[in-house]
Structure 1
């Protein structure tokens, strides 16, 4: 079984008020089908009505979970791989973050936890089953899914909290455990990139390098130096664009003061404009209209229940461009009172478009 390196995104899911409506929306938008899949909901519901796995051409790509608590945000959340969730949780607190949900063992799929960085952005940690034997962890085989009853996460703001459950295999290379997590990435209809937005870049940079054991490097050679962007590379890899698996942007005054730090997750598509039009047709909204970036065309969208995400239609990369590619940094947007975003002034938006780039094609793989 292929595994995920420490600190890399290994799963994402979305918490929704109406699971059936979510299945209709994303099934139409991305062509997903849905079925049973490992997830940390309560044992009687796991893989059934409360949590479903989404498949693209038969490969597992995401999860959808029914919210149990209306106070929880409607949001997409990303999970990162770790070989030891308990130790990672200690590093979260030591690095200035906080635990939203302490590590809990989910039968069959491993150990999961939810954390918030110093800027308030919430993310998941996942350890595959079979690692760190002997850890004193609460078994939640009949309890709530990770984040399912955590009202604290709801205060983080739209797009800032991990969904109330996950089906991710976050073991490091060589780990044991059930075959869970992404089976497909970087191909149309699947995850391709994640980035965190924050007002505390120095604290957040140090936080993720300590907690996820990633190496950071500043993106250079773009026209968006006014909005610094930092790339994350996995432990052991040479830091830089060629190995980046995620990144950090900065929230400037264009964002509402009440909006906390948050992650924006991207899906690969073949036609960005058609996808944006489909979102509107299906009852969602376009937060940032499709625009060109160096390596493709992207848009920031909101589904018909309020969960934000981005899409990227990648251009074919030349060998030279592939060596310079990095994850897409979206132009700044600011959420309005109802969560709608307003773009920056045209000049700023154009600068953002020129500076962004596409994820590496290494994402385009299937697990076997």
Structure 2
């Protein structure tokens, strides 16, 4: 069983889909996921596994829930206290702290720019049982049209340090906890259609980005950007057959110079 994640670190990801079986087929084929039993008492919540280790979950939307999409959860030792910080920093609570049986306590929230994310206080469910291996969570970035507000909000709530990329052509910051990078923050440019809302971009690990993109698009996904090679890997951004954005990255294929970051806070 994994140790409890440090406060503010990504600890889990799940997604809602109107066609749950279709989503299971898509991500199962693409990322090699197998699936556990559907938990009817928890809204047909279905965990996904890689080599027997929990890596994500899928579920159908409940009444009035948002469109299909991925939700990243950030760890908290006290969901009530984190919810209070979210309110104090100008965020919105979409779901107040809610006990989920013995598994833990969840919060759903949005930052001042409208980026939706979750908070998870673990009980028996500690979160990701595998990371960065093929099929598992790799990285995440806040995609927002209100970067200044995000850069104030997330550090206030979770105590992140902030580093800014010095490249004038890219508005990107890195949130960290000491020496550990936690999240990225990217400004959404005019290349994003106005109907695309701000979101948390979740990256999953693959062995071969190009091959994975080809497989994804053959199953109905849409390629939005890439594949592109950067110092951290070769990645691509897509939307799945229901329109949920996600990204794929192969950390074994790298290129280019490491970006220069300057400490902001």
Q: Which runs of 5+ in 2 are unaligned?
A: 261-265
The answer for the alignment partner of 1:81 in structure 2 is 75
More strand by share: 2
Residue 196 of structure 1 corresponds to 142
Cα deviation digits, residues 240-271 of structure 1 (max 9, x gap): xxx21211111223233444321111001000
Is 1:227 aligned to 2:173, yes or no? no
CA shift at 1:20, angstroms? 0.9
- Structure number with greater Rg is 1
Separation in 1 of the partners of 2:259 and 2:65? 34
- Aligned-pair distance for 1:294? 2.1
1:207 corresponds to: 153
Aligned residues: 259
TM-score under structure 2 length normalisation: 0.90
Q: Deviations over 1:293-331 (max 9, x none)?
A: 1232111112122211000011278xxx9xxxxxxxxxx
CA distance in 2, matches of 1:355, 1:16: 37
**RMSD, aligned α-carbons:** 2.3
Q: What does 1:235-250 correspond to in 2, within 5 Å?
A: 237-238=178-179, 243-250=180-187
Deviation at 1:6, TM superposition (A): 0.4
Deviation at 1:225, TM superposition (A): 2.5
Q: Matched residues in 2 for 1:120 and 1:99: separation?
A: 11
When residues 355 and 122 of structure 1 are mapped into structure 2, their CA distance, relative to the original with a 3 A threshold, is farther
**In structure 2, do the counterparts of structure 1 residues 17 and 32 end up closer, same or farther at CA, with 3 Å as the change threshold?**
same
SS in 2 for 1:311: strand
Q: Tell me the secondary structure at the aligned position of residue 41 of structure 2.
A: coil
For the residues of structure 1 that align with 2:62 and 2:232, how far apart are their CA atoms? 40
Q: Are residue 312 (structure 1) and residue 249 (structure 2) matched?
A: yes
Among 83, 86, 91, the alignment partner of 1:97 is 91
The aligned counterpart of 1:60 is: 54
Rounded Cα–Cα distance in structure 2 between residues aligned with 1:257 and 1:316:
33
- Cα distance in 1 for residues equivalent to 2:259 and 2:200: 16
CA contact (8 A) 2:90 2:112 kept: yes
The answer as to 2:201 corresponding to 1:252 is: no
Cα 1:274–1:111 change in 2 (3 A) is same
